[in-house]
């Protein structure tokens, strides 16, 4: 029988909604503030995890993810370790623009990129495989550092989906067939050489009535 006693549990949390999320802008590695809905989503995530033992918390170094992580650790004797390699995919010149704005101003390269978003990089950005590789390297490192522990990682839709697709061997060509909701939880369990997807895009805490009991530290 396989010994799973040293498996790490990694809870991936997508940050709360931002202004650019609401405006359907390419966000990438630039940042915009959380909306009021986004702040409510972070409060609900914190309430959902209030009775979950957490050994460590990591976050993308972008403010929208960091704010989400800080909400989770409120009232706990924990700190957040920020990691640049947990950032969203870099969209370079597209960041801050809507699809319509980019199509009108970006030029011929944008048409070429739209035809192959996976393998091509916007000027100053990165490809989908490049993001997937850095994210999986980082999550493997985290799993290695926390055997038999529970770790929260506050990050972005792209990194969450990268982990799930890599573990389940889903082709990146099917990228647009899944969606990661703001404030959702996706749980992985295992070791660097063998991770499993325990749950995907869990939003029950967002869909239910607002919690009446305050989360730890509120």
Q: In the prediction, which pLDDT does 212 show? A: 42
Residue 88 annotated as catalytic:
yes
**To 10 degrees, the CA torsion angle through 169, 173, 176, 179?**
10
Q: What interhelical angle do 63-73 and 36-48 show, nearest 10?
A: 40
Whether 183 maps to a domain, the answer reads yes
| Domain count within the chain | 1
Q: In the prediction, which pLDDT does 210 show? A: 54
Per the residue annotation, which of 24, 67, 70, 88 is the catalytic one?
Answer: 88
Residue 15 annotated as catalytic:
yes
What percentage of the chain's residues is helix, strand, coil (to nearest 5)? Answer: 40, 20, 40
Whether 156 maps to a domain, the answer reads yes
CATH number, domain of 155, equals: 3.40.50.1240
Whether 166 maps to a domain, the answer reads yes
Whether 184 maps to a domain, the answer reads yes
Residues shown for the chain = 218
Q: Is residue 155 within 8 Å of 15, Cβ to Cβ?
A: yes
Whether 98 maps to a domain, the answer reads no
Q: What interhelical angle do 128-145 and 157-168 show, nearest 10?
A: 80
Q: In the prediction, which pLDDT does 27 show? A: 96
Whether 173 maps to a domain, the answer reads yes
Q: Is residue 187 within 8 Å of 204, Cβ to Cβ?
A: no
Per the residue annotation, which of 15, 146, 156, 205 is the catalytic one?
Answer: 15
Whether 177 maps to a domain, the answer reads yes
* Average pLDDT per block of 10 residues along the chain, 218 residues long: 79 98 97 97 97 97 98 96 98 96 89 93 96 97 97 98 97 95 98 95 85 35
Q: In the prediction, which pLDDT does 6 show? A: 86
Q: In the prediction, which pLDDT does 217 show? A: 29
Whether 104 maps to a domain, the answer reads no
Give the structural domain span for 131: 8-91+127-207
């Amino acid at each position: 029988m396989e010994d799973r006693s040293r498996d790490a549990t990694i809870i991936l949390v997508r940050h709360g909604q931002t202004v650019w999320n609401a405006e359907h802008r390419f966000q990438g590695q630039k940042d915009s503030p959380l909306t009021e809905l986004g702040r409510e989503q972070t409060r609900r995530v914190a309430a959902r995890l209030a009775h979950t033992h957490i050994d460590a918390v990591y976050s993308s170094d972008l403010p929208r993810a960091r704010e989400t992580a800080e909400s989770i650790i409120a009232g706990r004797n924990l700190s957040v370790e920020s990691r640049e390699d947990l950032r969203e995919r870099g969209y370079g010149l597209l960041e801050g623009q809507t699809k319509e704005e980019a199509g009108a101003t970006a030029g011929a390269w944008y048409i070429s990129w739209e035809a192959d978003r996976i393998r091509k990089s916007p000027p100053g950005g990165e490809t989908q495989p490049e993001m997937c590789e850095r994210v999986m390297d980082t999550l493997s490192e985290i799993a290695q550092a926390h055997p038999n522990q529970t770790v929260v990682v506050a990050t972005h839709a792209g990194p969450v989906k990268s982990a799930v697709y890599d573990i389940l061997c889903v082709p990146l060509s099917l990228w647009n067939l899944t969606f990661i909701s703001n404030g959702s939880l996706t749980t992985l369990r295992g070791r660097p050489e063998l991770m499993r997807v325990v749950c995907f895009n869990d939003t029950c805490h967002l869909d239910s009535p607002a919690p009446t009991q305050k989360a730890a530290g509120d």
